[in-house]
C-alpha cells in the first residue's frame, strides 16, 4: 500500500546558515572582531588552518545566494546576525554599516518572496565582551538584551520570526568545558555558569522582544536523544545523565524554570547554587522552539569519561556521516514526541537537520550526485511526517545547510550543503539533494510517497 507523505497545509520549508560560517569579510565596514575571528586566527585551533575570512563570501554575494534559495522554492531562510558587525564593542555604539548589511539581506529576501528568520546569537560573541568575561559575566544577559533590542527596532516587522540563541549546549560544552570551540576554555567550573548565563540572556532577549517586537520569538536547542546500551542500572543511569546534560540542561530552565537533578551529580562541587530569582528570567513564554536534530547516541557507563561518566557506543552495521554521526531517523520522531510530552504543546520547528558526506572539492557538471545525503534527507523527512501524525505541533523544517560552509573548528573539510561550494572559485553547484528538496517543497512532501 502506498503511504502518503503530504505535509499539513502551510508547512514551512526552509534552509539555514550562520554568519561566521558563510559571510566572510568578518572585519569589513567597521565590524569588531568576534571570538571566532580570534580563535580561527590562533595556530592549531582549526583543521587545515581554515578561517572565516572568506568562507562563502556571502557578505558580498548575498544577492546571488538569495537566487539559489529562490531556485529551491524556499519559504523561509534562517540566518544569524553577527553581533560584532552591529555593535563592534558588543554594547554601546551601533555600527550602521554593519546593520545595513542585514537590512539589505532582509529586503532582498522579501523581494524574492522568502521569509527572513533571524537568529541573534549563533556563537560569534564580540571579542570585546569576551574580554569582559564573556558568558561567565552575569552582565552578559543585559549585553545580549541591549543588542537584541537594537535588532528588533531595526528589523521587526520585516523579520517576523526571531530566535535568541542557537544551541547553547555547544557553546558551553565546546567553548567552556572541552575547549574545542571558541573561546577554547576547559573548565567544569565555568561550563555551568556559562550555560546558566546563556539561558538568562535568552530570557532577557525575550523580555526585550515583548516590549518592542510584534511577531514571534523563540530559542533553538540541539536535541540528541540518548538510548541505553544495555538495561543495566549503570547504563540506564549514564543515559539519564547524558540526556540531562545535553538536552534538559537548556530546555528545562527555559520551559520549566528548573534544572534536572542529574546536573549536580555530574558537576559535583562545580555545580553552583543559582539564585531562585534567576529562573523567573530564564522561563519566558516562547512562541516556538527550534530543534536541531542530527543524530542519536547509544550510551554506556564509563567511569573514565569526564565529567559525565558516560560514553557513546558505536553501532555495528549502521551508516555514519563524515562527522561521525549515526544516521538514525527514528531519533527525530522520538525527539519530537519526547519534547511534546515533557514541555507541552509548544509550536516546534526543526531549525537544522542535515548531513556531511564526502563531496569532491571541485564539482563537475550541472548537478553533483550525493546519494548518501539524499538518502538522509528522504529518511528524515519521512520520520518528521511520522511525528506530525503522532500529534506533534510541527510548523516547519529548515535544512542544514543552504551551502557548504565553515564547519567551525573542522574548517571546510565537512560539507553539509544543498549547494556545493568550490572554495577556490566560489562557484556554487546544486547537489542532487537540492533537486530532491526542491521537489519536496513543490509537492509539499508528496514526492516522498512510497
Ligand atoms: C550548528 C551548525 C553546525 C551544524 C553541523 C549545529 O551544531 O548549529 O552551526 O554547522 O550543527 O555540525
Helix axes 96-111, 140-155, angle to 10 degrees: 50
Ligand 1 lined by 321 (C-beta under 6 Å): no
Provide, rounded to the nearest whole percent, the portion of the chain with pLDDT above 70: 100
CA neighbours within 13 Å on the CB side: how many for 76? 26
What is the radius of gyration, based on Cα positions, of the chain?
21
* pLDDT confidence bin for 347, thresholds 50/70/90: very high
CATH number at residue 116: 3.20.20.80
Ligand 1 lined by 400 (C-beta under 6 Å): yes
pLDDT confidence of residue 2? 76
Domain that holds residue 277: 12-448
Whether 5 is covered by a domain: the verdict is no
Whether 2 is covered by a domain: the verdict is no
* pLDDT confidence bin for 1, thresholds 50/70/90: low
**pLDDT tens digits, 295-339:** 999 999 999 999 999 999 999 999 999 999 999 999 999 999 999
| Phi/psi at 159 (5° precision) | -100, 110
Whether 266 is covered by a domain: the verdict is yes
**pLDDT tens digits, 180-221:** 999 999 999 999 999 999 999 999 999 999 999 999 999 999
Whether 153 is covered by a domain: the verdict is yes
Whether 4 is covered by a domain: the verdict is no
Beta bridge partners of residue 77, listed in sequence order = 15, 116
Whether 106 is covered by a domain: the verdict is yes
Domain count for the chain: 1
- Binding site residue list for substrate: 21, 122, 166, 294, 400, 407-408
Using the atom order of ligand 1, give the atom closest to the CA of residue 400.
Answer: 4
Task: Compute CA distances 277 → 65, 135, 352, whole Å.
Answer: 45, 19, 32
Instruction: Return the closest-CA partner of residue 263 out of 249, 273, 251.
Output: 249
C-alpha 233 to ligand 1 mean position (Å): 33
176 secondary structure, DSSP code: I
| Phi/psi at 147 (5° precision) | -60, -45
Whether 43 is covered by a domain: the verdict is yes
Q: The whole model's pTM is what?
A: 0.98
Whether 384 is covered by a domain: the verdict is yes
H or E stretch at 162: strand 161-166
Using the atom order of ligand 1, give the atom closest to the CA of residue 407.
Answer: 10
If you average pLDDT over residues 253-282, what whole number do you get?
A: 98
Amino acid at each position: 500500500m502506498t503511504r502518503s507523505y503530504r505535509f499539513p497545509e502551510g508547512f514551512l520549508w526552509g534552509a539555514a546558515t550562520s554568519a561566521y560560517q558563510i559571510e566572510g569579510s568578518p572585519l569589513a565596514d567597521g565590524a569588531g572582531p568576534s571570538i571566532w575571528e580570534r580563535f580561527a586566527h590562533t595556530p592549531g585551533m582549526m583543521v587545515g588552518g581554515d578561517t572565516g575570512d572568506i568562507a562563502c563570501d556571502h557578505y558580498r554575494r548575498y544577492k546571488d545566494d538569495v537566487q539559489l534559495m529562490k531556485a529551491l522554492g524556499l519559504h523561509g531562510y534562517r540566518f544569524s546576525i553577527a553581533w560584532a558587525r552591529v555593535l563592534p564593542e558588543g554594547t554601546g555604539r551601533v555600527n550602521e554599516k554593519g546593520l545595513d548589511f542585514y537590512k539589505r539581506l532582509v529586503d532582498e529576501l522579501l523581494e524574492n518572496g522568502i521569509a527572513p528568520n533571524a537568529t541573534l546569537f549563533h556563537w560569534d560573541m564580540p571579542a570585546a565582551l569576551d574580554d569582559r568575561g564573556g558568558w561567565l559575566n552575569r552582565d552578559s544577559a543585559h549585553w545580549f538584551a541591549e543588542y537584541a533590542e537594537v535588532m528588533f527596532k531595526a528589523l521587526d516587522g520585516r523579520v517576523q520570526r526571531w530566535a535568541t540563541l542557537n544551541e547553547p549546549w555547544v557553546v558551553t560544552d565546546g567553548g567552556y568545558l572541552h575547549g574545542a570551540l571558541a573561546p577554547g576554555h576547559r573548565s567544569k567550573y565555568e561550563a555551568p555558569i556559562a550555560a546558566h548565563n546563556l539561558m538568562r540572556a535568552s530570557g532577557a532577549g525575550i523580555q526585550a522582544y515583548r516590549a518592542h517586537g510584534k511577531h514571534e520569538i523563540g530559542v533553538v536547542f540541539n536535541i540528541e536523544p540518548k538510548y541505553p546500551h544495555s538495561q543495566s542500572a549503570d547504563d540506564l543511569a549514564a543515559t539519564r545523565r547524558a540526556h540531562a546534560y545535553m538536552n534538559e540542561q537548556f530546555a528545562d530552565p527555559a520551559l520549566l524554570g528548573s534544572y534536572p537533578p542529574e546536573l549536580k551529580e555530574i558537576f559535583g562541587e562545580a555545580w553552583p547554587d543559582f539564585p531562585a530569582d534567576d529562573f523567573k528570567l530564564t522561563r519566558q513564554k516562547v512562541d516556538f522552539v527550534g530543534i536541531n536534530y542530527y543524530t542519536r547516541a547509544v550510551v554506556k557507563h564509563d567511569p573514565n569519561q569526564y565529567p559525565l561518566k558516560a560514553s557513546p557506543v558505536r553501532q555495528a552495521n549502521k551508516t555514519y556521516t563524515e562527522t561521525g554521526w549515526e544516521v538514525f531517523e527514528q531519533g527525530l520522531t522520538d525527539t519530537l514526541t519526547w519534547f511534546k510530552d515533557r514541555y507541552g504543546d509548544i509550536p516546534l520547528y526543526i531549525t537544522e537537520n542535515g548531513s556531511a558526506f564526502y563531496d569532491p572539492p571541485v564539482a563537475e557538471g550541472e548537478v553533483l550526485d550525493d546519494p548518501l545525503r539524499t538518502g538522509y534527507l528522504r529518511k528524515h523527512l519521512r520520520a518528521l511526517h511520522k511525528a506530525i501524525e503522532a500529534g506533534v505541533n510541527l510548523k516547519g523544517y529548515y535544512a542544514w545547510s543552504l551551502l557548504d560552509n565553515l564547519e567551525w573548528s573542522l574548517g571546510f573539510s565537512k560539507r553539509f550543503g544543498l549547494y556545493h561550494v568550490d572554495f577556490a572559485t566560489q562557484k556554487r553547484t546544486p547537489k542532487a539533494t537540492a533537486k530532491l528538496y526542491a521537489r519536496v517543497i513543490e509537492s509539499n512532501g508528496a514526492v516522498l510517497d512510497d
